[in-house]
Amino acid sequence: MSSEEASMTNTTETPAQDTPQGAISDFGIDTTSQSTGEAVRDYWARVRGGELGSLPALLGLVVLLIVFSSLSDTFFTLGNLANLLQQGASITIIAMGLVFVLLLGEIDLSAGTASGVTASVMALHLIHNGNLLGGMGDTVFYVFCGLLVLAIVLAVLMKIWAGAALSAVALVIAAIGIPANAWLEMLLAVCVGAAIGCVTGFLVAKVGIPSFVVTLALFLVWGGVVLQLIGQGGTLGLRDDTIFNVANGNLDFLGSWALFVIAIGGYAAVVLTRHFSRLRKGLVAQPTTLVLAKIGALAVLAAVITYALSLNRAQSNLVVIQGVPYVVPLVLVLLVIGTFVLDRTSYGRHIYAVGGNKEAARRAGINVERIRMSVFVIASSAAAIGAIVYSSKVGSVDPNAGGGNTLLLSVGAAVIGGTSLFGGKGRLRDAVIGGAVLAIIQNGMGLLRQPAAVVFIVTGLVLLLAASVDALSRRRAANAAR
Amino acid sequence: MSEPILELRGINKSFGPVHVLHDIDLTVNPGEVTALVGDNGAGKSTLVKCIAGIHPTDSGEVLFEGQPVHIKGPRDAAALGIEVVYQDLALADNLDIVQNMFLGRERTKAGLLDETDMEQAARKTLASLSVRTVKSVRTQVSSLSGGQRQTVAIAKAVLWNSKVVLLDEPTAALGVAQTRQVLDLVRRLAEQGLGVVLISHNMNDVFEVADRIACLYLGRMAAVVGSKDVTHGQVVELITAGRSGDLGIARPEAATI
């Protein structure tokens, strides 16, 4: 116990009250640095208490890697591993956006088809060289612009300035008709995503329709919109190198290692700064050796992956394919920004609070409606980024974009990673881990030449398993409190 | 005794045709626990909600530190330093103690949460209240017992340099040992010089911690008595009949208008 606290306690205590019942555990325990053994025991106690986090998903990941490597010769090849990252990226990104919604205990079933809408708008803008009016036809274009204006109004009404600004950018791009430019198209997609989120969020937060119903309805609506924009049986090809490279391109050798240095260096800097600042102020902290070991292990893992990916993995001798795929830094950047927002800002704290106890959050003066609306804006914007990635991967947008099982896999990724469907519990990295699990299942089963039927059944069962783990650990946590 | 920190004069409150509070006078002194007792429907919770700014009053005066004030909403009350600890604890289970104590009023540095600062402040507050039953201030609220949760809720109210703390049945759902904890804490709040208003149904609790007892009877202040001057039985009579001997509302006819 620090001397300051000791004096504080002494001055305010009267001797008669100095004997509270039971085992007295003072904050003295709280102030000292833990030993490694204590930290491990503490972690184990929390796991037993039902706070599993992403542990089951990580174990599953390891098991899957071992199983598929032993069953298939091609699974653990460099080419396939890079392919795996590119396949899993879009689902992972959409799942990251969904984590925000799931944290409130809400659901966004429309994220998949909404991403399809953003992909179609992006493709139309590219193909018609910025002339969306010509690409959509008069009526559709005016309705589209009307919806963007509506989104701006709703966002301003709820004081969600970022949503309003992005929707306004979308409106400007659509109205002015700037000639095609890949970066502009991608920006447009994200902005349209934000606008969609404003509408969804307003219906849920302000009008008060359950998110399940709103997004189920919008799931159908956006599916129809995609069909309208692209046309029955049509396909919009994305013939643009920049867009193609998003999911298919790689960093060069130097870039790959620069990414490694920045990522690991940044991680180490953030973790160590916080660690030593806590130690300096006498707050409870993990043992320094454990922190260093964690950073070291991560650095080694990242170095191995970077090294492997910077080798030539082309099947033929005619081309050279090497370097870390662009999707890796993309996912990393989104992960870092999102985690930062959730963990280090008041906004993130308020999301957890609303997800944990809406009434408590309201009494604490948090604008619950605004928080609820904003997460849908985030989810739809992330879905738009996911849409850019999957459209880039296949090089075109078809009427089924974002339909099928895009959404189910994304929700599945978040839940498998350990995000609770009941709200209040989950982290952004859950989406990444869960996304990796699903990508490996899909990829591995494909390599083993399993029919689609088996792939679906296995994926579904894994999701069911993850949801059961969530429910059971929740029950365990509730029991532990008593 | 020093000047009252909070003084109510002639507070009236109606919900439509129902006249809930009749000319309520109440003073809250710093360093004292004032127990507010009364049967169900006597108007205890309404009175607390009027003080907290949740319900506007129809007439009457509120003086805070001798100055007349108009409390129009919960934020006004909080700004004056009046905090309410509600019966159903307003804590988020999935957050830890520090996060809950600073919920909605997080301290930030350059736009980012200042975790270490908040953790130190939270620990200092808990230590100043001699709360020693929670192992770590980073414990999740979901793993705390009922008494510990109530403790956190009260400590949360204290954290904001509040001057008056209103506790709405803080021991209603607690076991014996946990009630003990909370009552000790209530006493300590008063010792720190805060004005404490405790609503309770439990006479043992009231006699144990209260300096003064204010009895509400059908929306009227039947009597405000020193807890040492009355017996258990007298307070029960005040609650159920509005009078006891020469205490309370003079004649029963006066209570019916």
Sort residue A418 into left (φ over 0), alpha (ψ -120 to 50) or beta: left
Contacts with B132 from chain A: Cβ below 8 Å: 20, 24-27
* Domain encompassing residue A332: 74-249+325-466
Given CB atoms, is A281 within the 8 Å cutoff of chain B? yes
- Within-domain flag for A244: yes
- Within-domain flag for A59: no
- Within-domain flag for A32: no
Q: Which two tokens stand for residue A61?
A: 């990941």
Cα B137 from Cα B123, distance rounded (Å)? 7
CA distance B150 to chain A (A): 14
Residue among B89, B90, B127 whose CB faces A9 most closely: B127
Cα A254 from Cα A306, distance rounded (Å)? 11
* pLDDT tens-digit map of A432-458: 999 999 999 989 998 888 888 898 898
Does A356 contact B130 at a Cβ distance shorter than 8 Å?
A: no
Q: How many domains are contained in chain A?
A: 1
Question: CA geometry: angle at A385 spanning A457 and A419, to 5°?
Answer: 50
- Within-domain flag for A151: yes
Share of chain A above pLDDT 90, in %: 49
- Within-domain flag for A478: no
Residue scoring higher pLDDT (A116 or B55): A116
φ and ψ at B74, to 5 degrees?
-55, -30
> Is A334:A382 a contact under the CB 8 Å cutoff?
yes
Residue scoring higher pLDDT (A300 or A40): A300
Mean pLDDT across chain A = 86
pLDDT band for position B56 (cuts 50, 70, 90): confident
Residue B52 has pLDDT above 80, yes or no: yes
Task: Return the bridge partners of B108, or none.
Answer: B113
Q: Which of B158, B168, B146, B225 is nearest to B54 (CA)?
A: B168
Residue scoring higher pLDDT (B180 or A339): A339
Q: Which of A240, A309, A270 is nearest to A77 (CA)?
A: A309
Cα A353 from Cα B103, distance rounded (Å)? 8
Residue among A5, A278, A481 whose CB faces B116 most closely: A278
Cα B257 from Cα B255, distance rounded (Å)? 6
Residue A348 has pLDDT above 90, yes or no: yes
CATH class belonging to B6-89+163-255: alpha beta
Q: Where are the domains of chain B?
A: 6-89+163-255
> Is B178:B150 a contact under the CB 8 Å cutoff?
yes
Cα A34 from Cα A277, distance rounded (Å)? 15
φ and ψ at B248, to 5 degrees?
85, -170
- pLDDT given for residue A403 in this prediction: 83
Residue B107: what residue type?
R
Residue scoring higher pLDDT (A47 or A126): A126
pLDDT band for position B176 (cuts 50, 70, 90): confident
A:B CB pairs within 8 Å? 135
- Within-domain flag for A426: yes
For testing contact with chain B, the best of A27, A47, A336, A425 (most B CBs within 10 A): A27
Residue A133: what residue type?
L
- pLDDT given for residue A9 in this prediction: 38
The DSSP secondary-structure symbol of B140 reads B
Cα A151 from Cα A117, distance rounded (Å)? 15
Cα A461 from Cα A446, distance rounded (Å)? 17
CB under 8 A, 24+ apart: contacts of A28-31? A28/A1, A29/B135, A29/B136, A30/A283, A30/A284, A30/B123, A30/B135, A30/B136, A30/B137, A30/B138, A31/A1, A31/A2, A31/A282, A31/A283, A31/A284
Residue A102 has pLDDT above 70, yes or no: yes
Q: Map residue B108 onto helix, strand or coil.
A: strand
The angle, 0 to 180 degrees and rounded to 10, between the axes of the packed helices A182-202 and A138-157 is 60
